[in-house]
Amino acid sequence: MKPTVLVLGSGPIRIGQGIEFDYSCVHCIWALQELGYRAIIVNNNPETVSTDFDTGDGLYFEPVTLDDVMDVIAHENPIGVVVQFGGQTAINLAQGLHDRDVKILGTSESAIAAAEDRDLFERFMTKLGLPKPEGRAVRSLAQAEGVAGEIGYPVLVRPSFVLGGRAMEIVYDLDHLRAFYAEAEDANPGQPVLIDKYMLGKEAEVDVISDGVDTLVPGIMEHIERAGVHSGDSMAAYPAVTLSEAVQAQMVVAACRIARELGVKGLMNIQFVVEDDVAYVLEVNPRASRTVPYLSKVTGVPMVDLATRCMMGEKLRDLGYESGLWVLTGGPNPPAGPSHTPRAAGRILPEQAFVAGPVALPKPVVYAVKAPVFSFQKLRKVEPRLGPEMKSTGEILGIDNTYVAALYKALVASHIQFRGEGYVLMTVRDDDKPTGVAIARELVRNGKRLAATGGTHRALADARITAHRVNKIREGNPNLLDLILQGEVSLMINTPGTDRVAELEAAHIRRACIETGVPCVTSIDTAEAIAQAMELYADPSRAQVLRLQEYFTA
């Protein structure tokens, strides 16, 4: 009889742990079956493909808890358990399973712990000499105050071992820290709270596949919204659009080194923040992330299949890959081969080349932009502003052969469309005013009418941009709220400041947008993306419509 492998599913869909993990689990099962294993799954989510009775060789419809999983293990006696595709649900069981002498396939539970445990991670990064934002794990408010004081505000405060940035906040001063600390501590009782230097740079992330020796980087995704917006809530472009070749080289090198050092066998996700052309490592997750399906589809690299093979002991080199960055080359798609072969024409720029310094990257063949989708209309009293805590429920993908077309598709598919012919209403914080002015200019050039509140209006006027001035709520009637409720706003650009009183008002306005169906953008970077895509809004026929595979052959 075939050896049995147990794959742990990701449980119910929740914010931060969505359908992406089901995609990975299902692909893992298929890959295992192809490798000659009997692949069985434990999961309790009735909405998914992984719990379709003909997906695996055995479906155990049970809660994904240690007790229940151990019962299935006692029954099936699998050669090992796969925890890296089932999100935090499955990863959280790794230690317990290991303690009960269950073999964790792929990346070991100690490597998982090294990445998740703050102190271990700190030591690990120091050993590798890779840059990361200054920060520490603390276990009391007093410690937190000390650390924050030492590294300087603003700091990012968050609980450890929690997915989706729950109870995570950018803290600007001591009072704010005191007010917020308890929430972070409460989010995962008994676990330390992490205090990190908050760096307002570009964020980027990679999902890599490693066999413990070689590490393939299928692609680098650049976030459109800067640090401070949870990665799950930011738009992300593949390939990187503004990152320098030097920074991308640092990322490739860092990813390969981390994977090798941790002994990753399977998938790993690394989040970076870029400041002054240096890539700082924010987070390392030795498991499948939510970007895996997206990246698999836009790079043509069958990531989960490869990761599963690595997990089961195969070597990337034997599968036709090596360490380095995968780039698309265009041209005819490769003939259909075994499931681990790429679906699009490309080659690998080897790791060694990056170690030496920046490598000239070829002109991208496709551009793909992932955008989040929110469900704020369904959730009363939930504040729609983006922040370090994830709020989106789903995502869409825009793909095309030019960046702006991909961007446009992503915006439109995530329902960011001008609603009627009304004003684009702008109210942006001081930091954002220069960018705001540039955005406004682009909007006006494309025939949009603007409306703005006091400060923003002044900034626009200074730049000789005409805008209808509207009152803030506290300035009396009629104000911007009336404008929204009267249906005269086609799009709202509102970037929140740090002034608590102003923010309370802004929150009210954002909510009004949600209630009336006016798209509301809360990050200046998203707004900039809209400005960039204006020519497509004016003439959507400039976007192509092709079968997915056809984009790669251009």
Partner 1 sequence: MIGSGPIVIGQAAEFDYAGTQACKSLKEEGHEVVLINSNPATIMTDWNVADALYIEPLTPEFCERVIARERPDAVLPTLGGQTGLNLATELADRGVLETYGVRLLGTPLSAIRKAEDREEFRDLMRQIKEPVPESWIIESEAQLEAVLEVVPYPCIIRPAYTLGGTGGGIANTREELWETGRKGLKLSMRSQLMVERSLLGWKEVEYEVMRDSAGNCITVCNMENLDPMGVHTGDSIVVAPSQTLSDIEYHMLRTASLKIIQALGIEGGCNVQLAVNPDSFDYYVIEVNPRVSRSSALASKATGYPIARVAAKIAVGRTLDQIDNQVTGTTKACFEPALDYCVVKIPRWPFDKFATGDRNLFTQMKATGEVMAIDRTFESALMKAIRGLEVRSKDLRHPKTQAFTDEELRHAIGKPTDERLWALVEGLRRGWGVDEVNRLSRVDRWFLRKLAKLLAVEERLLAARTGSSEAVDALVSEAFLIGFPSVSIGALLGIDDDRLDPGFRAAAKGAIEAQKVLPVFKMVDTCAGEFESATPYYYGTFEDEDDAFAVASS
> 494-523: which residues touch partner 1 (CB under 8 A)?
515-517
For the bound state, the minimum distance from the C-beta of residue 222 to partner 1, rounded and expressed in Å, comes to 17
Q: Indicate which single residue of 82, 206, 316, 390 sits in contact with partner 1 (rule: CB under 8 A).
A: 390
Q: How far apart are CA 281 and CA 258, in angstroms?
A: 10
Q: Indicate which single residue of 74, 356, 360, 501 sits in contact with partner 1 (rule: CB under 8 A).
A: 74
Considering beta carbons, is residue 108 or 308 the nearer one to partner 1?
A: 308
What single string gives the DSSP state of each residue in 126-147?
HHHT-----EEEESSHHHHHHH
Considering beta carbons, is residue 166 or 202 the nearer one to partner 1?
A: 166
Interface of this chain with partner 1, residues 344 to 373, rule: CB under 8 A: 370, 373
In the chain, helix, strand, coil percent, each to 5? 40, 20, 40
Interface of this chain with partner 1, residues 278 to 307, rule: CB under 8 A: 290, 293-294, 297-298
- Reduced to 3 states (helix: H, G, I; strand: E, B; else coil), residue 461 is helix
Q: Are the CB atoms for 273 and 281 separated by under 8 Å?
A: no
Q: Indicate which single residue of 395, 442, 525, 528 sits in contact with partner 1 (rule: CB under 8 A).
A: 395
Smallest CA-to-CA distance from 520 within 427, 406, 399, 389 is with 427
Select the span of 239-247, 392-400, 456-464, 531-539 touching partner 1 (CB under 8 A): 392-400
Report CA-CA distances (Å) from 293 to 16, 188, 297: 15, 29, 6
For the bound state, the minimum distance from the C-beta of residue 98 to partner 1, rounded and expressed in Å, comes to 18
Select the span of 100-108, 127-135, 245-253, 544-552 touching partner 1 (CB under 8 A): 544-552
For the bound state, the minimum distance from the C-beta of residue 396 to partner 1, rounded and expressed in Å, comes to 4
Considering beta carbons, is residue 47 or 462 the nearer one to partner 1?
A: 47
Interface of this chain with partner 1, residues 176 to 195, rule: CB under 8 A: 183
Residue 447 identity? G
In whole angstroms, what separates CA 6 from the centre of its chain? 27
Residue-level length of the chain: 554
CA R_g for the chain: 24
Q: Indicate which single residue of 159, 164, 387, 422 sits in contact with partner 1 (rule: CB under 8 A).
A: 164
In whole angstroms, what separates CA 515 from the centre of its chain? 27
Q: In the 8-state DSSP scheme, what is residue 51?
A: T
Smallest CA-to-CA distance from 426 within 468, 476, 462 is with 468
Q: Indicate which single residue of 398, 436, 496, 519 sits in contact with partner 1 (rule: CB under 8 A).
A: 398
- Which class for 464: exposed (0-12), middle (13-18), buried (19 or more C-beta within 10 A)? exposed
Total interface residues for partner 1 by CB under 8 A: 86
Query: Exposed e or buried b for every residue in 68-97, given b needs 16+ CB within 10 A?
Result: ebeebbeeeebebbbbbbbbbbbbbbbbeb
Q: Indicate which single residue of 46, 129, 335, 476 sits in contact with partner 1 (rule: CB under 8 A).
A: 46
52 sits near partner 1 (criterion: CB under 8 A): yes
Considering beta carbons, is residue 287 or 290 the nearer one to partner 1?
A: 290
Considering beta carbons, is residue 414 or 532 the nearer one to partner 1?
A: 414
Q: Indicate which single residue of 203, 207, 383, 525 sits in contact with partner 1 (rule: CB under 8 A).
A: 383
Considering beta carbons, is residue 149 or 540 the nearer one to partner 1?
A: 540
Interface of this chain with partner 1, residues 11 to 40, rule: CB under 8 A: 11-16, 18-20, 22-23, 26, 40
For the bound state, the minimum distance from the C-beta of residue 218 to partner 1, rounded and expressed in Å, comes to 14
Q: How far apart are CA 4 and CA 443, in angstroms?
A: 59
Considering beta carbons, is residue 61 or 172 the nearer one to partner 1?
A: 61
Report CA-CA distances (Å) from 118 to 60, 263, 425, 470: 34, 18, 43, 48
